[in-house]
Chain A
Amino acid sequence: MSDTPPIVELRGIRRSFVKDRQLIPVLQDINLAVQADEILCIVGESGCGKTTTGKIIAGLLDPSSGEVIVNGRPTESYQGREKALLRRQLQIVHQDPFASLNPAHTIGDILSFPLKRHRMTEGGAGLKRRIWELLTMVDLTPPGDMVNKYPHQLSGGQRQRVSIARALTVNPKLIVADEAVSMVDVSIRITLLKMLLRLRAELGLTIVFITHDLALAKYFAWEGRIAVMYLGRIVEIGRTQEVIANPSHPYTRALLAAVPEADPELTRHKQAIRLRSDDIPRLTDIPRGCAFHPRCPYFIPGMCDSDLPELASAPGFDQQVACIPVQRGLPLHVHESQVAAEAHP
């Protein structure tokens, strides 16, 4: 780990939303440090709070409680010009190409607003040159065709490129890609990811990549880290190569075993891990202790359903995990109720 402070650190972050007169706790106690220049993937099923975490990292959403520390200083300590500069250093690329660009603006407008607003270029000529460079950087060539087009005249992939170019106008330090490629065709998805990797190397960017597609996460963050989330908590975080090859938390293992592979022999010999129940608990009544215990095949009564597991290291694993039996190195046996479940499928 480099000695410089993490670019963004979340400490004890909680976030709830009010939905028709009910308070719904989406994030409970997130502790996460995003190192400068790294690629961090946040994976999890829908409703696990990964998008909310991404928005808090990008400073677009305030936490209900807990602290957001940027470059070693809490966000509240930034005032005036410094706060404005900080605001521009954290950018986001959204999931839906159809909603991320304002239908009333041409591509030229979209890119020139931030450039003009923050006087990143001098005069009309400088503005045009910068727009030309940005469009070329995201492979939207020839720029001449793109500038006067409206978003509805572009394909999904092209729109995401405009989204990325827009984020780059203010020379950000960190970009949160919130499912940025999941609504684009498979073949174009990889070009976008490769472009993001290239831009990261060229511009020294930190990228937080949020996705529900584990295979994509493995490919994109192979050199970086991956964090697995379940019901508003991080259950496992570590270097991608360790987490994928040697998963520690039962939920991660279940996920990795459940994902089909684009390789017939490989995917048909994978042994899925049968969970004790299929239905996901509601956020309004999260199970006591480890939230996964009602579904976990290796559930140990008295341990898993009483105290709250914290992220900690565990024997035989480099990554951190929030599962008490694993932290204590206990062998994981399939719980007897699981056996009963198999008796009558």
Chain B
Amino acid sequence: MTYKPDEVVLSIRDLSVSYGAQRGRVRAVQNVSFDLHAGETLALIGESGCGKSTLNLALIRQLPKTASIDGGSVLYTYRDGRQVDVLKYTKQEMRRYLWAECSMVFQGALNSLNPVIRISEMVYETGEAHGIPRLEARDRAMRLFEQVRLDAKRVFTSYPHELSGGMRQRVLLALSLILRPQIVIMDEPTTAVDILTQRSILDVLKVLRAELNFSVIFISHDLAVAAEIADTVATMYAGEIVERGPVNDVFYRSRHAYTLSLLNAAPRLSAGAETLDSIPGSPPDLIVPPPGCKFHPRCAYVQDVCRTVPPPLVAYDDGKRLAACHATEQVQQDAQATRILSPDAILPIVKGGVS
């Protein structure tokens, strides 16, 4: 199903989450707002501690006890058009909403399946929890296992420890689609697996996305996987979304200094000789964040205004792109000049160098 930019499935407004800590409140997510459209794959990229995982746990209300949602709304649109704020749901309503409307694939493939029961039992219990008879749950699972290129019969009756890491991740992927949810949140699904397994999972994901209609929130610290899979990309830093836009705009015409410096620190295999430069300093303290733009202590484009005035999230190209950076024009110019590789600099691997 292609990405329909006009149909919004999930719209998040000013969502804020904070943790209790000895030294004070850690503001992990600060008034984050974005829309997720039908069939869209939105990649959330950022380094550890930027709040992307906290944001996701907030969306499915699985935050740890020490965390609290300080404000904002998460408006979900059912297939029949009904709109509801998930944050207002009771425990019971939440349980019906989870997995049927919004499912999740966790990063730890090795530990995401109950080690003492068979895969079949997990399929049946998921079905039962949402009123799907056993037989239908079984058929859906078997078909999904085929689609993710698994030996359905063998996998269905085996225990988790009898499957390899890659197979388990594919079982999780299939399990996340068994109730045909509109949204699937994927938290670094391919970080814990090898290169070839990662490739087969990404290919399978593209095939599934084409055949079934669901949108994806894809969390990753790996820019390459985001570049490959995302329709739109959002960069997060210190709990805030600092840039959002179509993938090519964000990668080639980045409008935020942090996004550009992340890209300049990410090696590209086919780019031959590269001079990368890293981001000095270390991630900010979320209890007492630096004044003005939180990235200014580490930013190469820092100006006086950055140190005092927090940059507003401004819309560009009539709303298709958002960025919160005082030096956005300068950043975009440098990005256009450096990010696009000239064709001869690209190593032949890309052209499928096989006779």
A binding-site residues for B, Cβ under 8 Å: 45-46, 155, 157, 185-191, 194, 212, 214-216, 218-219, 222, 241, 244-247, 253-273, 275, 278-280, 331-332, 345
Contact = CB atoms under 8 A, between A and B. Distances in A.
Contacts of B194: 45-46, 212
Interface in B232-250: 247-248
B98 to A, nearest CB: 30
A225 to B, nearest CB: 16
Interface string B251-274: 110000000011101111111111
Interface stretch (B55-63, B180-188, B345-353): B345-353
A345 to B, nearest CB: 7
B349 A257 contact: yes
Contacts of A189: 265, 278
A244 B347 contact: yes
A126 to B, nearest CB: 31
B350 A269 contact: yes
The 3 closest A-B pairs by CB, nearest first: A271-B352, A258-B199, A190-B278
Interface stretch (B34-42, B126-134, B222-230, B303-311): B222-230
Contact of A266 (B265, B270, B282): B270
B265 A190 contact: yes
A60 B225 CA distance: 36
Given A259-B195, A261-B228, A278-B149, 13 more contacts: A157-B282, A187-B278, A218-B267, A258-B198, A262-B227, A263-B270, A264-B227, A264-B251, A269-B350, A270-B349, A271-B354, A278-B196, A345-B207
A218 B276 CA distance: 12
Nearest to B225: A260
A263 B282 contact: no
B267 A219 contact: yes
B123 interface: no
A295 to B, nearest CB: 9
B114 to A, nearest CB: 23
A246 B195 CA distance: 19
Nearest to B223: A262
A345 B251 CA distance: 32
Contacts of A259: 195, 199, 224, 269
Nearest to B275: A219
Most chain B beta-carbon contacts within 10 A, residue among A191, A262, A345: A262
B41 to A, nearest CB: 12
B212 to A, nearest CB: 15
A272 B224 contact: no
A75 to B, nearest CB: 32
A256 B269 contact: yes
B347 A255 contact: no
A280 B207 CA distance: 23
B92 interface: no
B279 interface: yes
A246 B265 contact: no
Contacts of A279: 164, 166-167
A280 B164 contact: yes
Given A194-B278, A216-B267, A218-B269, A332 B223 contact: no
B144 to A, nearest CB: 14
Contacts of A280: 164
Contacts of B269: 214-215, 218, 244, 256, 259, 261
Given A45-B194, A264-B227, A267-B224, A253 B47 contact: no
A247 B227 CA distance: 24
Contact of B282 (A45, A155, A269): A155
A253 B269 CA distance: 13
B278 A255 contact: no
B277 interface: yes
Contact of A332 (B221, B268, B347, B355): B355
Interface in B30-73: 47-48
A279 B227 CA distance: 26
Interface in B317-343: 339, 341
B313 interface: no
Contacts of B162: none
B283 interface: yes
A212 B165 CA distance: 16
Nearest to A257: B349
Contacts of A269: 350
B354 A273 contact: yes
A186 B268 contact: no
A256 B351 CA distance: 12
B311 to A, nearest CB: 20
Contacts of B224: 215, 259-262, 267
Contacts of A157: 282
A188 B200 contact: no
26 contacts: A45-B194, A186-B47, A187-B265, A188-B278, A212-B194, A222-B273, A244-B269, A245-B349, A246-B348, A255-B195, A258-B195, A259-B199, A260-B199, A260-B202, A260-B227, A261-B271, A262-B223, A263-B268, A263-B341, A266-B227, A266-B346, A267-B228, A271-B354, A275-B196, A278-B200, A279-B164
